Structure 1
Amino acid sequence: MRFLLLALGLLALDQWSKWLVMSKMIQGESIPLIDGVFHLTYVRNPGAAFGMLPYKTAFLVIITAVVVVGILVFSSRIPKGRILLKAGLALQVGGAVGNLIDRLRFGHVIDFFDFRIWPVFNFADIGICIGVGILFLELIKNDRAYGKKEDAATGDEKSPGN
């Protein structure tokens, strides 16, 4: 239940922040918060991350829906003790659904965080990236734990240098 709340919390923050940008700024407007470093810039992104696949809205909607369903199915099968993994997946779902709503409503995603040297992004993108990072760390942790179990099962003891 708390993972659903995490996903919904991110979704609410994402949609509220996009509404705020759309209601207070005009497309292309940029407000420097730290001049030359960090701006709020209202951008309509017709593609995926980094502007890839521009104007492929139907394709991106289908792929996103399939990925969200896949994550939800996978998440439902994760043991209760894997809290961090479930949190990472919840962030991915919340972010994906946030951008999916934009694509369905507008045909593009609203972005506004602009570090000038990086593509403009939003809270949904932040959630997705943090979620993927958590998933990556969990996979590394799980792989190391699996390796230790394998070593114990075979009786291998590795010296500190190996």
Structure 2
Amino acid sequence: MYYILLVLAIIGIDQYSKHLVVTKMSLYESIPVIQDFFYLTSHRNRGAAFGILPNQQWLFITVTIGVVLFLIYYMRANYRQEPGAVWAFSLILGGAIGNLIDRIRTGEVVDFFHFIFGDFSFAIFNVADAAISVGVAFLILLTLFSKERNESVNPAIQSEES
């Protein structure tokens, strides 16, 4: 089951990159990678995505544990029938566990990827957040382009293939 390796890789890369940020950078220090576009910025987030609901760690921990348990159950039950969804859920699971480790250990999540587009500064995020976002995007694409969905939306597809 290669998807387990993906989950473990995401957790490992996420935790190692956060460790580097915490040990090698001062809080709020920003290092330009591509001037006026991409920075490594040491930041901490005590809330959910985009800093919403700050200081609600027990809520986030409880919800994340529930999500992790559901994802593990779903992946074990469906890895043969729905491999694309399982790969997408593997990305989400790895990211969820990466951020869960931070929340349990320190009560906050270490963020550091910082993109700026002109006057707009995108929310600072980390490897776990990126994995979750890519997994969700992959699920959306799978849903939009799945054969079953297309047949139910457009019955003509079904009659053409028959």
Aligned residue number for residue 53 of structure 2 = 53
Aligned residue number for residue 65 of structure 2 = 65
**CA displacement at 1:79 relative to structure 2:** 4.9
**CA displacement at 1:78 relative to structure 2:** 1.5
Larger radius of gyration: 1
1:127 matches 2:131? yes
Question: What is the correspondence of 1:1-162 to structure 2 with a 5 Å cutoff?
Answer: 1-116=1-116, 117-142=121-146, 144-148=147-151, 151=155
Residue type matched to 1:62 in 2? T
Give the Cα–Cα distance (whole angstroms) in 1 for the partners of residues 48 and 131 of structure 2: 15
Q: Which moved more, 1:66-75 or 1:55-64?
A: 66-75
Give the Cα–Cα distance (whole angstroms) in 2 for the partners of residues 4 and 65 of structure 1: 17
Give the Cα–Cα distance (whole angstroms) in 2 for the partners of residues 79 and 9 of structure 1: 18
**CA displacement at 1:108 relative to structure 2:** 0.3
Q: How many residues align?
A: 155
Describe the SS at the equivalent of 1:55: coil
Percent sequence identity over matched residues?
39
Residue type matched to 1:115 in 2? F
**CA displacement at 1:139 relative to structure 2:** 1.5
Give the Cα–Cα distance (whole angstroms) in 2 for the partners of residues 138 and 64 of structure 1: 23
**CA displacement at 1:84 relative to structure 2:** 2.1
TM-score (norm 2): 0.88
Residue type matched to 2:124 in 1? V
Residue type matched to 1:125 in 2? D
Structure 1, gaps ≥5 residues long: 158-162
Q: Which moved more, 1:71-80 or 1:12-21?
A: 71-80
Calculate the aligned-residue CA RMSD, in Å: 2.0
Structure 2, gaps ≥5 residues long: none
